[in-house]
Amino acid sequence: MVSIKDIARQAGVSISTVSYALNGSDKVTAETAARIRAIAKELNYVPHAAARLLKTKKSNMIGLFLTDFDGAFYGDLLQGVKRYLGARGYDLIVCSGANARRLIPERMIDGAIILDQTFPTDELLRYAEQGHKAVVLDREAHHEHIHSVLVDNKAGAQLAMEYLLEQGHRRIYIVTGPDGSYDADQRLRAARQAANRVEGAELRELAGDFTKLAGEAAAQRIVEEYDLPAAVFCLNDEMAIGLFRYIREQTSLIIGQHLHLIGFDNIELSGYIQPRLATIDYSMRKWGALASEQLLKMIAGEAVEQERIYVSLVKGESVGHG
């Protein structure tokens, strides 16, 4: 393996001069630095990451921690993070699982973006006490080294419920999310509050976990007890699409006539199914970019504020009049 000693020998300079040149220091002339970089390229020199980290105290890498990699949800979020960080000289590591969390205390990353409900808050707070910076997308955690960038789940769920109620629907099924999910909990609470404000509204809760299979299971339950038109609010689009598919393929019921369906997240597939799925929209790319912006500000020691991602209602033919 080529080392900076080999580069220094071929360039006829000291090891420290090579180090300065490769790290962009102004202690060497531009001409000398260019010659050293050309030799390093010719020798296929690869910097030793651990040694560089010890010297600079920076890895120029950010960790994005996810619960898993299933479904269509993460694509735009990842693009938002990657583009923002890439434009500022940072690389992105996307990871999942308990072992990956060692990247934080081992200082292999400069900061973390958390969208992983299995990442314990007490562990995250412990890292924050040690000075590690993090932005969380899935919880509220109070520490000077942790900031939240959250979707306005309450407003979104209220918009969805008000839309159904305004169309005259009073029997409303709600397909919930996984236990421990901050987003699911906030959406469910807001849905309950909206139903409680309207006389005659009946909310029937069915367990879900944000997957298409959960949507299919909920559809089966609804069909078994179906006796008159009803509305269904799935707390994410993945479940709504699973429910939609089951109703279309396994029953004679028609979405938008017998069952009126709305989701949440406005994933790309939602715009392609027919009738068009009503849903709650927000910019996942903006969410990822804003989280990245907050984290880099924290790393630089700049002040940041808590942020929320605003939502809007996307009307669709999957919801008709009750």
CATH architecture classification, 4-47: Orthogonal Bundle (1.10)
Start-end ranges of CATH 3.40.50.2300 in the chain? 61-151+284-310, 153-281
**Pairing mode, strands 146-151 and 61-66:** unpaired
Residue 48 confidence (pLDDT): 59
Q: What is the mean pLDDT of residues 84-100?
A: 93
Residue extent(s) of CATH 1.10.260.40 domains in the chain:
4-47
For residue 275, whether the previous peptide bond is cis, meaning omega lies within 30 degrees of 0, is yes
Which candidate, 135, 164, 106, 108, places its Cα nearest to that of 280? 164
pTM of the complete model: 0.80
pLDDT at 52: 54
Distance CA 157, CA 150 (A): 14
pLDDT tens, position by position, 105-126? 988 899 999 999 999 999 999 9
The CATH superfamily of 61-151+284-310 is: Response regulator (3.40.50.2300)
Is 287 strand, coil or helix? Answer: helix
First to last CA, the chain: 72
Tell me: the pLDDT tens digits for 180-195?
A: 899 999 999 999 999 9
The residue with tokens 């009738």 is: 275
The confidence score (pLDDT) of residue 57 equals 62
What is the pLDDT, as a whole number, of residue 71? 64
Percent of the chain with pLDDT over 70: 95
Does residue 53 carry a pLDDT above 60? no
Tokens of 294: 């907050």
Looking at residue 51, what is its pLDDT? 53
CATH assignment of 153-281, among 2.40.30.20, 3.40.50.2300, 3.30.1490.100, 1.20.120.350 = 3.40.50.2300
In angstroms, rounded to a whole number, what is the distance separating the alpha carbons of residues 284 and 73? 9
